[in-house]
A and B are shown apart, each in its own frame.
Chain A
Amino acid sequence: MKLTWKEVPIGGVIPKGGVAFEYKSGDWRTFKPVIDINKCVNCLICWIYCPDASIIRLERHVDVDYYHCKGCGICAEECPVKAITMREE
């Protein structure tokens, strides 16, 4: 049930934090970053550059959080060893 104008919190406030986490910005993607884990040297440059905090740190290489990754391609551009390729969805 959606709230009426009398029920919505004033000013469009959402009375809790971290709500962007629930929003599936992954829906916006046209190209998807794919990581070649054999090439990845785990330098974390992509992790620093990703504007959506969508790079996941693992023990030996990185992974992508496709729920939030919107496919901007910055990670692929910045990866020094070309471990990331952008593939059409």
Chain B
Amino acid sequence: MSKIIGLSGNEAAAYAAKQSKVDVVAAYPITPQTIIVERFSEYVANGEVETEFICVESEHSAMSACIGASLAGARVFTATCSQGLALMHEMLYIASGLRLPIVMDVANRALSAPINIHCDHSDMMGSRDCGWIQVFCENVQEVYDWTIQAFKLSEDLDVLLPTAVNFDGFTITHAMEDVNVLEDSDVEEFLSIRKTKYKLDPDEPMTFGALTLPDYYFEVKRQQEEAMKKAYEKYVNVVKQYEALSGRAYNYLHEFMLEDAEAAIICLGSTAGLVRQVAKKLRNKGRRVGVLKPWLFRPFPSKELLKALENVKSLAVLDRSLSFGAPFGPLCSDVITTLFSEEKTIPVFNVIYGLGGREITPKEVEDIFNLALKAAKTGKVEEKVKFVGVRE
């Protein structure tokens, strides 16, 4: 049984955390994530949850408190973005290094300077290598679904890694949508009580975070990478079980009209909706275009990506962040590496767009598709990295 209620992205995140019966929330408000923390603190004030809500003085402390609580065996949730995520950076590595299944919702926002509160993916990409599982949501429904699924994946005893659930600041955080929500009891059954391998327990003392020098550090990190591989394997079970419960099917990537597509666009998050809309329009004009949207960004779904692009002849990869001085943006780098590792050589170009909340228009997307179609014909790319939407 499920029902439909109107929720914004932030409210959906708080609602999902509430239904996930989190034991501890330690969070610090930051635009555009603030409403997640506000809503959740209302649940606490109204006695609707039994969660311990810790008001902290900064995001560094928020993640530190989450780490302590998670070590003690609690189910832990937090949310942040932008400067807040940057301030947590140090602790993100400690959370993943200690193998703590914390779930954090990230309302993607640009990083300073210059100061800006609107969406791009610089925040998460800046902490890309922090060892967290990373998913990107397209709409409010996905925020709700992924916040719940994230606990299931993170808390799997073969995985035990934290998950960051990303969604575009304002575009999703502040948009009100009809959201299909599950019954409390269904979520409870889906997640069950968190189990632990090791935990902080005064009756059974253990040592966490001990000094680990050249004789063991490498082994611990190698093992952590194996956990990412396990997360990749277990991911399928999580989405399949969730589908059985909710009727909503997730996968590694969302594929749209790729079977016979000549040219395709790959992008993350809310932009995918617009890109599919434009693709549909072009299909009506007889242009063979398709769209690929990864839900899972870390671990990167290389195998599924290659399969989805089997027949595609050219590719435009959209990055909503810059990797200064790098050959390409972060998503494009991963896509090109994946293609090259399997000796698949098709023309690929990178589009940098939407920094600091700049909107991308249907016309711009159409132009990108046309460029990709041209590249499919000629087998060549004129401009490897294209900035779309910036005043020239």
Contact = CB atoms under 8 A, between A and B. Distances in A.
Interface of A: 2-6, 8-20
A29 to B, nearest CB: 18
A30 to B, nearest CB: 20
Contact of A11 (B205, B208, B215): B208
Contact of B209 (A3, A8, A12): A12
Nearest to A3: B219
B210 interface: yes
Interface string B139-168: 000000000000000000000100000000
Interface in B215-258: 215-220, 222-224, 226-227
B229 to A, nearest CB: 12
Interface of B: 97-100, 160, 197-198, 205-210, 212, 215-220, 222-224, 226-227
Nearest to A8: B219
- The residue in A9, A12, A19 that gathers the most chain B C-beta atoms within 10 A of its C-beta is A12
A41 B388 CA distance: 78
Contacts of B206: 13-17
Given A8-B223, A19-B207, 17 more contacts: A3-B219, A5-B223, A6-B223, A8-B216, A8-B220, A10-B99, A10-B160, A10-B227, A11-B98, A11-B99, A11-B198, A11-B208, A12-B97, A12-B98, A16-B206, A17-B205, A19-B210
A13 B223 contact: no
Contact of A10 (B197, B205, B212): B197
A9 B207 contact: no
A12 B216 contact: yes
A6 B220 CA distance: 9
A46 to B, nearest CB: 26
Given A12-B97, A14-B210, A15-B198, A4 B219 contact: yes
B97 A11 contact: yes
Contacts of A8: 216, 219-220, 223
Contacts of A5: 218-220, 222-223, 226
Nearest to A18: B205
B210 A12 contact: yes
B223 A16 contact: no
Contacts of A2: 215-216
The residue among B100, B218, B223, B227 with the most chain A CB atoms within 10 A of its own CB is B223
Contacts of B198: 9-11, 13, 15
A16 B207 contact: yes
Given A2-B215, A19-B210, A12 B205 contact: no
Contacts of B207: 13-20
A10 B161 CA distance: 11
Contacts of B98: 11-13
A17 to B, nearest CB: 3
Q: Which of A6, A11, A17 counts the most B-chain CB atoms under 10 A from its CB? A: A11
Quick one: which of A4, A10, A18 has the most chain B CB within 10 A?
Answer: A10
Contacts of B210: 12, 14, 19
